[in-house]
Structure 1
Amino acid sequence: MAVASRRRASREKSRPSVFWLLGAVVEPAVSLLAKIEISGQEHLPEEGPYILAPNHLSEFDPCVVAVAVWRLGRAPRFLTKESLFRIPVLGAALRATGMVPVARTASGASARETIRSAEELVAHGRGVVVYPEGSLTRDPDLWPMRGKTGAVRLALAGDLPIIPVAHWGVQEIMPRYGKPRLWPLRRPVRIVFGPPVDLSAYREGSTQPAVLMQATSVVMDRITDLLSQLRGIPAPAERWDPAVHGQKETGRLEP
């Protein structure tokens, strides 16, 4: 395991990039707050494109996911709103770090953007983190809620492996939509990478909404199973659906 991690570190992480500067600043800061324990690291490809699909329960968890990916030798990139790329300075920083824009436009334009993003990931051998829930979970007990199809669409468009990820403990550092808890330092956070999800059965109907939702449900099942293992308790029989509970699926969750 240590040998594999060193091989990863000799590849993407060792290549000169703006991530060196970010890593020098972000990793020590996150490490002060979180004692990160990683398992399943053998499922993260040493090189080549991939998609990571984590659960989303705190505004701080992208930092934890990014540090975990960085420690395993890959540069952490995220799917980012396309509109942010048009903001001066910020847009340049997003492009410099290889973040992937996602369009929130008409379905045709969005589909073309998905294909373009997938082609770029393949061409450059990059990985990207995509939160399939699209927002912090609305589930009262912090289980993954109903997923959106973006991660699956990207995976099918580029024939990319999609790797489920679960983490637990971040909510003790920053509760969902809450303020950071800076003490005690180095609270334990566990993160596990699962085997890639086999989406071959959904490739033929990859443009059909019903097929995409079925594939997304499979991915969410895998994420939920991993989280159940971390928490040591069974997951609910039914996944939380914000629409059924009269909740908005994006934006802050109102009390």
Structure 2
Amino acid sequence: MTDAPQPDHRTNWLLAALEPEDFAALEPHLEVVELPLKQVLYEAGDPIRHAYFPHHAVVSLVNVLEDDTTVEVALFGRGGVVGLLSALVSREAFGRYVVQMAGTASRVAIEPLNEVRNAHPKLRQVIAGYGEVLLAQTFQILTCNAVHPVEARCCRWILMMHDRAEHDTLSLTHEFLAEMLGVQRSTVSVVTRTLQTAGLIQQGRGSITVTDRAGLEETVCECYGRIQRVMPGRYPPPKPGT
């Protein structure tokens, strides 16, 4: 039996967008790591020691309030990098970074990453561009959480996860979804039951399967489309063979 092939670092769109010489300088410092479901990479205030470039894993940045209420403010998949922007400024995590979808990522220690970044102007430009993408995404998510009904927000979240998954079934509990949306678990149960009755999703034990993506896109608020328009313009999927 042969070993499974090692994931390609350039599965991450941000790494795939680098110039060959920039990637060659960074590659020796990259290592592939597994990110298990619900693993907490950082809590608020933790020192940032590594940046993570997800492949098919998905990580959320969650704000945790004093009463333990949580709400998601940013989402990181294969189009982004976890922890990099915090490390460039305060070197402390803004909030809790938790794995929503298990998978692999390319991890790099902050010190060598900064050394390569300082020596390669085009890499700095890519990082700056990603900072703008992340700011736009966070801006839209915060707006969505403030003004749109839970059903529309739930559809947005499911669609964003579905975009980053390789399959239609998402490992997801009502409790976890409630934490991401900043609402009561009972509220999520009502919303997901409504979506299932409409034929948009199918609920399983600890999972949600997308059965009618087009229907979800009709139900979701405008925020989903705005977020999607930002990312492809910056970092399109890499061409086959790259």
Fold shared, TM-score > 0.5 on shorter chain? no
TM-score, normalising length: structure 1: 0.27
Of Structure 1 and Structure 2, the greater helix share is in 2
Of Structure 1 and Structure 2, the greater strand share is in 2
